[in-house]
């Protein structure tokens, strides 16, 4: 049996990158990218970026929380990341009495740093190409089911082996290039992470949702944390005896500033791209996936915004939830507009026609390339009805109605729990109650259930069995009954029920049939949608492999999958439309110009910042023109997950923090647009200015290695 997969995977790293597109794998920078990086201005070697044998820049880059990047900027474990990455922790530490979202927070020493419950950071210690170990014994004629079974077994065995070799580390083996290539990542997880400083939201989130994904930006999108370790510098749960992590590698901070054409590089953890998406998938995204998300989230966000504006308590409770929902909502709007405007579907169709002609003329049917695209099309068509309703029930109920999460205290979806651990379940519920406002959730539930009735083909059974039979079809009346009579909507009622728990009492709670009905339909829809996933998996895998065989001289990059990558290019302006040219940087002057008393939530400027501006008191952080630069652009290939990533100069020194992309290239996750696509970063000089001049935290400035 021939093993063509290995030779194909070897081709993935035998090329030289020639374009700005690409979230490149670190182990192959020397083979694929070093020459091109040098031509763009990089002064270090690929070994300085990533080395298997010595400390390198890679060791200063961390996974921050569940979906962001951070960087170590001092020998004492000081972390820079985005304000929006630290937002959840800042929110959870805030209260009406200590409103760190509104007022900011600055520790004056280690003792004042605030433990951030649940926050973790992860260091990548080792990276191994394990493709031979995973696919080496897969027959070339294997079916997709057999391919997944064998590679799954190999992956499981290898993870167990690596966990023994790298004791105390987490091991993951994600797939690359559509399941054709595999890397193992060994990580150390540190769970004692503390908040050191954050600017007020008026700086850290200046511009709010209005400016999100837009250029020009003037946002001081940063926050500061610190990782702690035990006496041996190893990971440990929070303890007052822990000490700041002793970093072998940390980033120097350069305040020389950027100019047009300068080399720029980002290292971080891009979350997800779909650059190999076909025209069939684009059709579904534009017709169903994005419109449903935009509609449902938009309606819920209107309710949250109203309640947040009316109460400081609710504003703090729902700040992180609103921001998380809104970010992807606006992303979906921009994605649909850009994909349509830039004719991404047409470009994909041309690529597919070329691929199909090549496959028909140059490959054999048993190789799987000829029917790769038909299988993807077949999957999209067959799975669409179930996927449509599944997305709607997830968006309108499972992610939107918090009562459903609370309902899991009493039932697992099959029936009520026979026995309960009252202490454990109450602890779980209290984590929800901390940021829960029952009147808000009640309003959301009414709106969501109304929208679901209008837009879902198949509805959860509670509509017919309860709403229609018992409430005459009146959704509002049913929701009021539900919230008035369930124990889980109130911490006091739930605690009383759990203390004197019985199956009979739990079965009488109206949240049980509601929860069960939603979960039953969601499970049924998942099963229907997943019945066709093997079609897609094989078609997708063969399509990507075939493209690389068709165009062996092209530099291909794997889709993002939240593994550490490098992207590089230059600081550049761009032209979004005829007659418009955007400069590559913004200044504090723009902050003052954007102040809007009619929109105080998004465009408020603190008085102290105004005073510093009027006095031009920028210290050593001004550029040569005497301006204080706030943000800048570079033509780098980033996506969600890169938030908080360090932007490095030609010597590997920190010059900014990546936090956004630009509106005109929102199609970038599907198709890279080299003329339009830009990374937006907060300039590190603005970060240090806020720490130093605005907050007066000289001790943090002194801790860093600053290059002038």
Q: Which residue in 74, 643, 645, 667 is the catalytic one? A: 643
Tens digits of per-residue pLDDT, 161-186?
999 999 999 999 999 999 999 999 99
Element spanning 157, H or E: helix 144-165
Interval 351-358 mean pLDDT: 98
- 288 touches 386 (CB < 8 A): no
pLDDT reading at 570 higher than 90 = yes
Tens digits of per-residue pLDDT, 87-102?
999 999 999 999 999 9
Tens digits of per-residue pLDDT, 628-656?
999 999 999 999 999 999 999 999 999 99
Tell me phi and psi for residue 38, to 5 degrees.
Answer: -60, -40
- 665 touches 673 (CB < 8 A): yes
Residue 84 is among the residues annotated as catalytic for this protein? yes
- 279 touches 348 (CB < 8 A): yes
Q: Which residue has the tokens 């492999």?
A: 545
Q: Is 396 helix (H, G, I), strand (E, B) or coil?
A: helix
Residue 143 is among the residues annotated as catalytic for this protein? no
Interval 330-342 mean pLDDT: 95
Structure tokens given for 528: 């229907």
Q: Which residue in 59, 129, 221, 669 is the catalytic one? A: 221
What percent of the chain has a predicted confidence (pLDDT) above 70? 97
Structure tokens given for 442: 């009640």
Tens digits of per-residue pLDDT, 426-439?
999 999 999 999 99
Q: Which residue has the tokens 């709403």?
A: 467
pLDDT computed for residue 254 by the predictor? 98
pLDDT computed for residue 21 by the predictor? 82
Rounded CA-CA distance 438/91 in Å is 19
pLDDT reading at 262 higher than 90 = yes
Q: Which domains does the chain have, with CATH numbers?
A: 1-269+562-708 (2.40.10.120), 279-534 (no CATH)
Interval 438-467 mean pLDDT: 98
Which DSSP letter does residue 674 get? T
pLDDT computed for residue 78 by the predictor? 98
Structure tokens given for 287: 């017709």
Question: Do β-strands 565-570 and 263-268 pair in parallel, antiparallel, or remain unpaired?
Answer: antiparallel
Look at residues 523, 520, 394 and name the one whose alpha carbon lies nearest to residue 452: 394
- 320 touches 85 (CB < 8 A): no
Of the pLDDT bands very low, low, confident and very high (cuts 50, 70, 90), residue 496 is very high
Q: Which residue has the tokens 């014994």?
A: 137
Measured between alpha carbons, how far is residue 126 from residues 245, 437, 537 in Å? 19, 44, 28
Rounded to two decimals, the pTM is 0.92
Interval 596-609 mean pLDDT: 95
DSSP string, 416-469: B-SS--HHHHHHHHHHHHTT--HHHHHHHHHHHHHHHHHH-SS--THIIIIIIH
Tens digits of per-residue pLDDT, 9-57?
444 444 444 446 889 999 999 999 999 999 999 999 999 999 988 999 9
pLDDT reading at 198 higher than 50 = yes
Q: Which residue in 20, 59, 84, 129 is the catalytic one? A: 84
CB atoms within 10 A of CB 630: 26
Tens digits of per-residue pLDDT, 143-160?
999 999 999 999 999 999
CB atoms within 10 A of CB 383: 20
- 243 touches 231 (CB < 8 A): yes
Rounded CA-CA distance 63/251 in Å is 15
Residue 94 is among the residues annotated as catalytic for this protein? no
pLDDT computed for residue 20 by the predictor? 65
CB atoms within 10 A of CB 82: 26
Rounded CA-CA distance 62/123 in Å is 5
Helix H segments across 509-561? 511-530, 533-550
């Amino acid at each position: 049996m021939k093993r063509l997969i290995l030779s194909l995977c070897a081709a993935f790293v035998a090329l030289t990158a020639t374009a700005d597109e690409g979230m490149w794998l670190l182990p192959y920078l020397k083979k694929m990218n070093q020459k091109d990086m040098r031509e763009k201005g990089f002064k270090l070697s690929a070994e300085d970026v990533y080395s298997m044998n010595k400390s390198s820049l890679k060791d200063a880059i961390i996974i921050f929380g569940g979906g962001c990047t951070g960087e170590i900027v001092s020998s004492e474990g000081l972390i820079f990341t985005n304000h929006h990455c630290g937002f959840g922790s800042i929110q959870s530490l805030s209260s009406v009495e200590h409103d760190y979202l509104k007022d900011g927070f600055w520790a004056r020493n280690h003792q004042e740093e605030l433990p951030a419950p649940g926050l973790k950071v992860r260091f990548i210690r080792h990276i191994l190409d394990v493709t031979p170990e995973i696919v080496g014994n897969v027959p070339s004629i294997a079916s997709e089911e057999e391919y997944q079974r064998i590679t799954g077994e190999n992956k499981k065995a290898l993870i167990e082996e690596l966990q023994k070799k790298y004791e105390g580390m987490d091991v993951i083996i994600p797939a690359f290039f559509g399941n054709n290539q595999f890397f193992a990542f060994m990580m150390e997880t540190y769970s004692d992470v503390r908040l050191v400083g954050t600017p007020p939201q008026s700086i850290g989130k200046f511009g709010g949702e209005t400016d999100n994904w837009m250029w020009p930006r003037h946002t001081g999108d940063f926050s500061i944390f610190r990782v702690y370790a035990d006496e041996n510098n190893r990971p440990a749960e929070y303890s007052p005896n822990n000490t700041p992590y002793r970093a072998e590698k940390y980033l120097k901070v350069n305040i020389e500033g950027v100019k047009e054409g300068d080399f720029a590089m980002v290292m971080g953890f891009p979350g997800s791209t779909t650059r190999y998406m076909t025209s069939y998938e684009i059709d579904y995204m534009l017709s169903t996936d994005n419109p449903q998300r935009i509609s449902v989230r938009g309606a819920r966000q209107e309710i949250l915004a109203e309640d947040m504006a009316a109460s400081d308590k609710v504003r703090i409770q729902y700040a992180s939830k609103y921001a998380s929902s809104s970010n992807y909502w606006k992303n979906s709007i921009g994605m649909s507009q850009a994909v349509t405007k830039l004719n991404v579907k047409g470009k994909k169709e041309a690529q597919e026609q070329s691929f199909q002609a090549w496959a028909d003329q140059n490959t054999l049917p048993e190789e799987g390339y000829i029917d790769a695209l038909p299988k993807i099309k077949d999957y999209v068509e067959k799975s669409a009805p179930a996927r449509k309703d599944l997305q709607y029930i997830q968006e309108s109920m499972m992610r939107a109605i918090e009562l459903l999460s609370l309902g899991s205290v009493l039932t697992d979806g099959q029936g009520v729990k026979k026995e309960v651990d009252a202490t454990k379940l109450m602890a779980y519920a209290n984590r929800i109650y901390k940021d829960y406002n029952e009147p808000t959730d009640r309003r959301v539930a009414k709106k969501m259930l109304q929208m679901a009735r209008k837009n879902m083909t198949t509805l959860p059974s509670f509509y017919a069995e309860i709403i229609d039979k018992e409430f005459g079809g009146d959704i509002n009346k049913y929701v009021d009954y539900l919230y008035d009579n369930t124990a889980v909507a109130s911490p006091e009622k739930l605690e009383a029920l759990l203390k004197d728990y019985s199956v009979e009492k739990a079965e009488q709670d109206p949240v049980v049939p509601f929860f069960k009905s939603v979960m039953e339909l969601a499970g049924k829809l998942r099963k229907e949608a997943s019945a066709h996933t093997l079609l897609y998996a094989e078609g997708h895998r063969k399509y990507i492999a075939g493209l690389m065989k068709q165009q062996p001289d092209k530099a291909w990059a794997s889709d993002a999958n939240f593994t550490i990558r490098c992207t590089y290019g230059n600081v550049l302006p761009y032209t979004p439309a005829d007659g418009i040219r955007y400069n590559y940087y913004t200044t504090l002057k723009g902050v003052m110009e954007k102040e809007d008393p009619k929109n105080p939530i998004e465009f408020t400027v603190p008085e102290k910042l105004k005073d510093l501006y009027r006095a031009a008191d920028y210290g050593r952080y001004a550029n040569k023109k005497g301006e204080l630069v706030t943000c800048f652009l570079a033509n780098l290939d980033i996506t969600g997950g890169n938030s908080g990533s360090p932007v490095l100069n030609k010597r590997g020194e920190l010059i900014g923090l990546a936090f956004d992309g630009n509106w005109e290239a929102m199609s970038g996750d599907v198709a890279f647009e080299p003329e339009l696509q830009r990374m937006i970063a907060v300039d590190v000089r603005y970060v240090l200015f806020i720490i130093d001049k605005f907050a007066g935290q000289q001790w943090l400035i002194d801790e860093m290695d600053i290059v002038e």
